[in-house]
């Protein structure tokens, strides 16, 4: 569901590529309805309040990781973490995982075991045992595909992208930007934070930042039928130190990195305007903007001017 | 979990390749126990009698299918069918599926949609809706990875590979061999048959034939701690017409094709010796041998002699 950051992000063009493919898949589904589960963070596996949800993410060598630069244990950890981040995005608790691999023929047995060790250790860290999988090999680059099932906490419904309303505030679980300096390799799924937010703050909508703050916030806006503004002054507190460091190299302002870099895996959540500030502070949340009725994404500059935020990120499949 | 037939099967060498990898993964799991779910047809997702099971199978272009020769809808159908065949092998009823893809950049939008149509139509045929997935693209050959969750019928436990006992009879749901002539492209998961067998015949063990009758029967023997003999005369009724046709081309005897060809997706089941023959006949089952205490696989020739059956099939990952 998530598209990790690429070195060369391309703008999302609506009605093309992956979104068009998802639309056409949706048309094949019974009722021809909205493509629930494709493009969402998790899909329903069981009906009912406490029913299981599940998700799958496929990572490919040369696209989502680089086996020439990254250790296999790190790659395995990342493959599990991006799936667990989908659980965080829906405020559900992971139950178990499956892990299927197509290993490049050149991998040694030790590399293959290291890959699985990374997967299993990350699972253990978040109480998500790996219950099975499928091991294959081939002459092409390595592919890792994980599926995770998760369950909402008792009396807490899963959070979707759909419920944000004009007037709700935009909050982040942490500072963003510059993940390419290394954080992209060790994503920290915000599951505990998400469960706390869901239990204490009645969030209206939530998503994890995989493609970037701007585009992932826009995903909430699209699903919720609203827009949002982000405030430059508020965003100061949400610019990661890595974004500032990367800005020195890239020449782009740190704010650009905060808005458009991907693979942070912090959460964006829509909270009611009257959400208790003390609780938000206890949870380390950072307020960066507000949802609006106008279906556009706007940056309010510290100088008082407004400008549109670009909706850009990576999109797969552009046939 | 299943390894479809390849043009050039290599003998399974114990303690090498995939089995060694699975053993080493198992050693990483809590308790270092047996690798439940890796190498089995399905893994436990939920505890308890009626709890969900799940499975995943990854198919790669050039290994499990050939996109130059096969239609994309057929490839999608096959990807779903091999997963549903795992449900059949455990006598569970599919509930829902996830489908992740890495599409080769050269695919047209119509090809991509055809692939998903194949997946969805096969799912619909077996009451298994696709509830979500992950769409990616890359410059490498296409990969399709499906996960399926399934549930045992009320008052019917899932069937494993473990319960066969010496004296139990070896039954097949249908004739086997020669699937390369075309049946390998349109596998028919034997879910309905499996549920009937489980409801009416108290099967002790079951597996679907993906690698071949000989090696998959041996998988039951290994898991159950026993051996088996197959009878040449009984096998006459289990040699598919395609096996005879292929034998004319290959020069191998039809029996060889029945024993060693893969991708039939018929079921092998261990039934108690007193299982009612009338019910077995009603279900179209074919008796081909018997389980034994000796841990070996033997062919009883019509002439009265006995010879060992080769344990050979495809094994992934031979580092």
Of B109, B120, B140, the CB nearest to A29: B120
For residue A316, the chain B residues in CB contact (below 8 A) are 103, 135-137
Q: Which residues contact A99 (CB under 8 A, 6 or more apart)?
A: A79, A80, A116, A119, A130, A132, A133, A144, A145, A146, B56
| CA quadruple A7, A160, A54, A284: dihedral sign | positive
B57 touches chain A (CB under 8 A): yes
Of B21, B105, B136, the CB nearest to A58: B136
Name the pLDDT band for A37 (thresholds 50, 70, 90): low
Rg (CA), chain B: 19
Reduced to 3 states (helix: H, G, I; strand: E, B; else coil), residue A35 is coil
- Report ipTM for this prediction: 0.90
CA-based nearest distance B143→chain A, Å: 8
Give strand pairing partners of B54. Answer: B43, B149
Q: pTM here?
A: 0.91
CA-based nearest distance A99→chain B, Å: 8
For residue A22, the chain B residues in CB contact (below 8 A) are 135
Along the 319 residues of chain B, how does pLDDT read in single tens digits? 333 333 333 433 333 577 788 778 877 776 544 445 666 789 999 988 889 999 999 999 999 999 999 999 999 999 999 999 999 999 999 999 999 999 999 999 999 999 999 999 999 999 999 999 999 999 999 999 999 999 999 999 999 999 999 999 999 999 999 998 989 888 999 999 999 999 999 999 999 999 999 999 999 999 999 999 999 999 999 999 999 999 999 999 999 999 999 889 999 999 999 999 999 999 999 999 999 999 999 999 999 999 999 988 655 554 4
Show the tokens assigned to B11: 């003998």
Nearest residue on chain A to B112, judged by CA atoms? Answer: A21
Chain B 278-317, CB below 8 Å of chain A: which residues?
A: 316-317
Of B37, B38, B112, the CB nearest to A317: B112
- For chains A and B, CB pairs below 8 A equal 230
CA-based nearest distance B299→chain A, Å: 30
Calculate helix-pair angle for A109-125, B17-28, nearest 10 degrees: 30
| Rounded Cα gap, residues B307 and B90, in angstroms | 31
A67 touches chain B (CB under 8 A): no
For residue A63, the chain B residues in CB contact (below 8 A) are 102, 136, 138
**Is B109 in contact with A316 (Cβ distance < 8 A)?**
no
CA-based nearest distance A201→chain B, Å: 28
**Is A43 in contact with B132 (Cβ distance < 8 A)?**
yes
Q: Could you tell me how many helices (H) and strands (E) chain B has, helices first?
A: 9, 12
Calculate helix-pair angle for A72-90, A109-125, nearest 10 degrees: 30
Name the pLDDT band for A314 (thresholds 50, 70, 90): low
Chain B interface test: which of A98, A125, A158, A161 (most B C-beta within 10 Å): A98
**Domains in chain B, please, with CATH?**
51-152 (3.30.1330.10), 169-308 (3.90.650.10)
């Amino acid at each position: 569901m998530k598209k990790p950051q690429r070195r060369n992000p391309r703008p999302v063009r609506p009605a093309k590529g992956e979104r068009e493919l998802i639309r056409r898949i949706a048309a094949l589904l019974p009722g021809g309805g909205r493509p629930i589960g494709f493009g969402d963070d998790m899909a329903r596996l069981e009906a009912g309040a406490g029913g299981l949800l599940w998700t799958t993410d496929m990572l490919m060598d040369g696209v989502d990781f680089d086996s020439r630069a990254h250790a296999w244990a790190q790659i395995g950890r990342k493959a599990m973490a991006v799936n667990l981040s989908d659980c965080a995005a829906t405020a559900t608790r992971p139950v178990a995982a499956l892990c299927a691999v197509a290993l490049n023929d050149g991998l040694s047995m030790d590399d293959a075991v290291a890959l699985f060790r990374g997967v299993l250790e990350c699972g253990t860290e978040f109480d998500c045992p790996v219950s099975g999988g499928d091991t294959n090999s081939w002459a092409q680059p390595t592919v890792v595909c994980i599926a995770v099932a998760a369950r909402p906490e008792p009396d807490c419904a899963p959070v979707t992208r759909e419920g944000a309303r004009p007037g709700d505030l935009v909050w982040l679980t942490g500072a963003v930007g510059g993940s390419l300096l290394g954080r992209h390799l060790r994503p920290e799924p915000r599951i505990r934070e998400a469960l706390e937010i869901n239990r204490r703050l009645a969030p209206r909508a939530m998503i994890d930042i995989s493609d970037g703050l701007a585009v992932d916030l826009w995903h909430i806006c699209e699903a919720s039928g609203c827009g949002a503004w982000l405030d430059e002054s508020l965003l100061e507190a949400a610019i990661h130190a890595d974004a500032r460091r990367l800005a020195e190299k890239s020449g782009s302002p740190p704010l650009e990195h905060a808005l458009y870099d991907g693979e942070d895996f912090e959460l964006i959540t829509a909270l009611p305007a009257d959400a208790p500030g003390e609780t938000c502070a206890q949870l380390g949340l950072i307020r960066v903007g507000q949802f609006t009725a106008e279906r556009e994404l706007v940056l309010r500059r510290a100088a008082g001017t407004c400008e549109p935020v670009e909706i850009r990120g990576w999109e797969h499949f552009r046939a």
